[in-house]
Amino acid sequence: MNNKNFVSWKAPSNIALVKYWGKLEGQIPANPSISFTLTTCYTETSVHLKKLENPSDDFQFDFFFEKQPKPSFHPKIVTFFNRIYKYLPFLKDYRFEIYSENSFPHSSGIASSASAMAALSVCLMQIEKQLNPNISEKDFWQKASFLARLGSGSACRSVQGSVVVWGEHQSIPNSSNFYGITYPFEIHDIFKNYQDTVLLIDKGQKQVSSSVGHDLMHNHPFAEKRFEQAHTNIDHLISAFAQGDLEQFIEVIESEALTLHAMMMTSLPYFILMKPNTLEVIQRIWKFRQETKTPVCFTLDAGANVHVLYPDSYKNEVLQFIKDELIAFCENNQYICDRLNSNY
């Protein structure tokens, strides 16, 4: 429940199907991306606020992660607040206590910045709405996504909508580089409750952060072709979504995942975030798909974990396959069953 001194929001994680990799000044994506919003992986954030007698020169807040004070997160929040201050001038009028919790295990290798920045942005917009009650529903969500983008690019896709597009694309009206929009076209029923089982291959800290990775797309020898390809892949995905064409869907999704990692391997300096077990899992998914004709495929984010994607109607057989063959490649046999959030 929200009152004047307390706001809260639960924002889900998302997994990109067409990937955002490379950005311009001001968190503008170098190419459009599209994602599934997830269900069981989320961040829940609450903010307690106290009006200051005199507005402060800097930002006054405490941050608690899983109920413990986390001063190590402060610089990230200060950077975020500095970026959004001109859009939310009330930020220096209050002292905030920010509490954040993830539904997924800490250091699981699952990026939490998308859900965390989305949850915090919606909380801040709730405060904004108390101060400007006339803000329309549409402007509220658009600005929340706009702010989330300034926290972490992919966070703007975790604010509203179950399938979300971020970045201008000529086939998608109203698509924007500044915020995510709900995918506006028809999606075949086969994608309803689409399953995403996240295999936790490596829970360690990544050697190269996403922001360094994005930066390495400047002067990257294949960047321009890659950005063009993302546009083309979105067109292919639009048609796969409409027709329920799983073959085309799988081709786009796996090609996007491998291209993302190919960009990392061909950056200077080059780097590899996949682990040997990532490749083992991919080979086994391909073999299983070929032998059983089950439409299961994988995607990767900027790490070693594998997202196994498949229609809800194939849940039993794919989960059995995962248990029989893939779990052995996960750290401590850990995996998370998630799915497309059709109601967000």
Residues that bind ligand PMV (CB under 6 A): 16, 19-21, 33, 111, 113, 152-154, 210, 214, 260, 301-302
Query: Structure tokens of 83?
Result: 């970026």
Tokens 């509220």 identify what position? 140
Residue 252 neighbours by CB under 8 Å, 6+ apart? 17, 18, 233, 236, 237, 240
Minimum CB–partner distance for residue 113 and ligand PMV (Å): 5
Q: Which CB sits closer to ligand PMV, 113 or 176?
A: 113
Could you give the angle at which helices 113-131 and 137-151 cross, rounded to 10 degrees? 140
**Closest separation between CB of residue 296 and ligand PMV, Å?**
21
User: How do beta strands 94-102 and 60-65 pair?
Assistant: parallel
Rounded to the nearest whole angstrom, what is the least distance from the CB of residue 301 to ligand PMV in the complex? 4
Q: In what helix (H) or strand (E) does residue 249 lie, and over which residues does it extend?
A: helix 246-265
Phi, psi of 147 (to 5 degrees): -70, -45
Q: How far is the CB of 303 from ligand PMV (least distance, A)?
A: 8
Tokens of 117: 């920045």
Please name the amino acid found at residue 339.
Answer: R
In the bound state with ligand PMV, the residue whose beta carbon lies nearer, of 33 and 46, is 33
Tokens found for residue 30: 């170098």
Q: With beta carbons less than 8 A apart as the criterion, state whether 183 and 238 touch.
A: no
* Closest distance to ligand PMV from the beta carbon of 52 (Å): 32
- φ and ψ of 315, to 5 deg: -55, -50
Rounded to the nearest whole angstrom, what is the least distance from the CB of residue 145 to ligand PMV in the complex? 13
Nearest distance, CB of residue 166 and ligand PMV, angstroms: 8
Q: How far is the CB of 332 from ligand PMV (least distance, A)?
A: 23
Rounded CA separation 131/176 (Å): 27
Q: Which residues contact 256 (CB under 8 A, 6 or more apart)?
A: 16, 17, 18, 19, 230, 233, 299
- The structure tokens 């924007």 sit at 176
Based on CB atoms, which residue is closest to ligand PMV, 144 or 318?
Answer: 144
Question: With contact defined as beta carbons under 8 Å apart, do 93 and 52 qualify?
Answer: yes
Q: Which is nearer to ligand PMV, 49 or 234 (CB)?
A: 234
